[in-house]
């Protein structure tokens, strides 16, 4: 990436942050009057200013599939920087309205703010919670707070576990039921909705808006332990825009056959996961495992997971983690062109994570992290712009400042 391009991006980012800041000030001033009579309105925000770089330029490192370009061996602010604002209105003791806007580097290479949540929440009693509107999806545990850096220990949710998850929200509804079991708590949730996301490809975007998503999970909280079992699926509604690539390299009959073979519309992907968190005193321990079954031949099914352990010493929490992802190549590839397209979704690597979080001020934290990614040269799925010289190995260095207000 040229310096000029970086400048433009930085300016775009600054522009969006500025726009949100103005919005924030307006929102803060306006409802202040109302807040005197009715304290049911609240406005909060979160953000991360971060830079990341790798040790090579054979592939660009991204936070997840929603980012079209990523970091190489120059410090890059796009990977982790985000700003979010959220307003809550407590309409009655049972009914609440929530709206959240976020600005981050997204599929169209801008920081255009988006409405990430906009829903009504109805809690008729302590056992039931119903939400409808645009909601965060917890396809995997903690997936609905991936952008809130202040809420978790590492710089970013481990990529080997979350890369396959570019979905952040659904337009739909969810229902949660909480049941006490002695002193423990059992919680179940089901949800259904349609996605509104776009996934960037080399020079195009794959629309997954309109894709139906459904799922649920069971949580069991026993003292400092939290266990989670979850399942979700998505039925893709659109084809991937690969027909012109196929047409360029294959004769018409073969291109049509390949297009048929690599179809995504109306295929279903299944997501299974298992998680355990131990959070007590200075200790934090997380273990997450997932298994993804892809319905379309264009994707490879995969298994991934991570372990993370942290121990707080005064205001500093050093942490150590290890994550991995392995995907299964499919046997039948028809022809070399199809084979190369199918190889795009291959991942086979592990990452050792070492870092520290420093809670240096009220509601602010600084984190520094080293990710040692060790993979096969064929492991190119989560990267952008990978070159022939890519070895599958790189180191990522990140520094972030997270805050909430």
Partner 1 sequence: MNSQRLRLLFFFACLLLLPAHEALAELVVVVNARSGVAVMTRNEIINIFFGRYRQFFNGVEAQPVDLVDSHADRARFYSALVGKDLSDVNAYWSRQVFSGRMQPPPRVANPDEVMKWVSAHPGGIGFVDLAKADARVRVVYEFKP
- Of the two residues 119 and 206, which places its CB atom closer to partner 1 in the complex? 119
Q: How many C-beta atoms lie closer than 10 Å to residue 194's C-beta?
A: 16
Q: Are 359 and 402 in contact (CB under 8 A)?
A: no
Q: How far is the CB of 321 from partner 1 (least distance, A)?
A: 17
**CA torsion through residues 375, 378, 384, 385, sign:** positive
Q: How far is the CB of 361 from partner 1 (least distance, A)?
A: 9
- Of the two residues 57 and 90, which places its CB atom closer to partner 1 in the complex? 90
- Of the two residues 93 and 331, which places its CB atom closer to partner 1 in the complex? 93
Q: What is the dihedral of CA 273, 162, 122, 181, to 10 degrees?
A: 30
- Sequence-ordered list of residues with C-beta below 8 angstroms from that of 311, at least 6 positions apart, any chain: 282, 283, 284, 317, 318, 319
- Of the two residues 168 and 306, which places its CB atom closer to partner 1 in the complex? 168
Q: How many CA atoms lie within 13 A of 237 on its CB side?
A: 13
Q: How far is the CB of 49 from partner 1 (least distance, A)?
A: 16
- Of the two residues 70 and 149, which places its CB atom closer to partner 1 in the complex? 149
- Of the two residues 149 and 382, which places its CB atom closer to partner 1 in the complex? 149
Q: How far is CA 127 from CA 51, 227, 248, in A?
A: 42, 19, 58
- Of the two residues 306 and 397, which places its CB atom closer to partner 1 in the complex? 306
Q: How many C-beta atoms lie closer than 10 Å to residue 363's C-beta?
A: 11
Residue 245, Ramachandran bin (φ over 0: left; ψ between -120 and 50: alpha; else beta): alpha
Q: How far is the CB of 281 from partner 1 (least distance, A)?
A: 3
Q: Which residues bind partner 1 (CB under 8 A)?
A: 42, 44, 46, 84, 86, 88, 90, 96, 98, 100, 117, 119, 121, 125-127, 129, 131, 135-136, 138, 142, 144-145, 147-148, 150-152, 178, 180, 183-185, 187, 221, 223, 280-282, 312-315, 359, 362-363, 365, 404
274: nearest Cα among 133, 154, 161 = 161
Q: How far is the CB of 86 from partner 1 (least distance, A)?
A: 6
Q: How far is the CB of 59 from partner 1 (least distance, A)?
A: 31
Q: How far is CA 333 from CA 262, 296, 299, 339, in A?
A: 10, 13, 12, 5
Q: How far is the CB of 304 from partner 1 (least distance, A)?
A: 22
19: nearest Cα among 7, 31, 27 = 27
- Of the two residues 78 and 367, which places its CB atom closer to partner 1 in the complex? 367
Give me Rg for the CA atoms of the chain.
Answer: 22
Degrees, nearest 5: CA angle 367-368-374: 130
| Helix 252-261 / helix 336-343 crossing angle, nearest 10 deg | 30
301: nearest Cα among 332, 269, 275 = 269
- Of the two residues 79 and 148, which places its CB atom closer to partner 1 in the complex? 148
Q: How far is the CB of 279 from partner 1 (least distance, A)?
A: 8
Q: How many CA atoms lie within 13 A of 244 on its CB side?
A: 4
Q: How far is the CB of 51 from partner 1 (least distance, A)?
A: 22
């Amino acid at each position: 990436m040229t310096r000029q391009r970086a400048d433009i991006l930085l300016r775009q980012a600054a522009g969006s942050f500025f726009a949100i800041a103005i919005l924030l000030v307006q929102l803060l001033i306006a409802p202040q009057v109302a807040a005197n009579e009715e304290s049911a309105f609240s406005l909060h925000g979160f953000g991360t200013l971060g830079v990341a770089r790798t040790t090579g330029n054979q592939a660009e490192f991204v936070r997840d599939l929603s980012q079209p370009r990523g970091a190489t061996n120059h410090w890059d602010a796009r990977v982790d920087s985000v700003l979010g604002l959220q307003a809550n209105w407590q309409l009655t003791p049972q009914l609440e309205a929530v709206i959240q806007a976020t600005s981050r580097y997204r599929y169209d290479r801008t920081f255009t703010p988006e409405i990430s949540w906009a829903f009504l929440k109805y809690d008729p009693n302590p056992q039931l919670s119903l939400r409808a509107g645009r909601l965060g999806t917890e396809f995997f545990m903690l997936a609905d707070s991936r952008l809130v850096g202040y809420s978790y220990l590492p710089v970013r949710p481990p990529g080997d576990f979350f890369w396959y998850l570019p979905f952040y929200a659904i337009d739909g509804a969810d229902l949660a039921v909480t049941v006490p079991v002695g002193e423990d708590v059992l919680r179940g949730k089901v949800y259904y909705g349609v996605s509104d996301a776009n996934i960037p490809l080399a020079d195009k975007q794959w629309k997954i808006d309109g894709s139906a998503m459904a799922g649920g999970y069971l949580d069991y909280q026993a003292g400092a332990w939290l266990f989670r079992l979850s399942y979700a699926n998505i039925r893709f509604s659109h084809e991937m825009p690969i027909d012109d690539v196929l047409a360029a390299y294959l004769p018409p009959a073969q291109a049509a056959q390949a297009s048929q073979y690599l179809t995504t519309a109306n295929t279903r992907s299944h997501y299974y996961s298992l998680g355990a968190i131990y959070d007590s005193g200075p200790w934090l321990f997380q273990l997450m495992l997932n298994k993804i079954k892809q319905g379309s031949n264009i994707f490879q099914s995969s298994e991934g997971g991570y372990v993370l352990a942290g121990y707080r010493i005064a205001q500093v929490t050093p942490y150590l983690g290890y994550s991995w992802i392995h995907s299964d190549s499919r046997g039948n590839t028809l022809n070399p062109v199809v084979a190369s397209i199918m190889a795009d979704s291959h991942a086979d690597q592990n990452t050792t994570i070492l870092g520290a979080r420093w809670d240096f001020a009220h509601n602010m934290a600084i984190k520094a992290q080293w990710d040692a990614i060790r993979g096969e040269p064929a492991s190119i799925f989560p990267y952008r712009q990978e070159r022939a010289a890519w070895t599958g190995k790189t180191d990522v260095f990140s520094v972030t400042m997270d805050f909430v207000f």
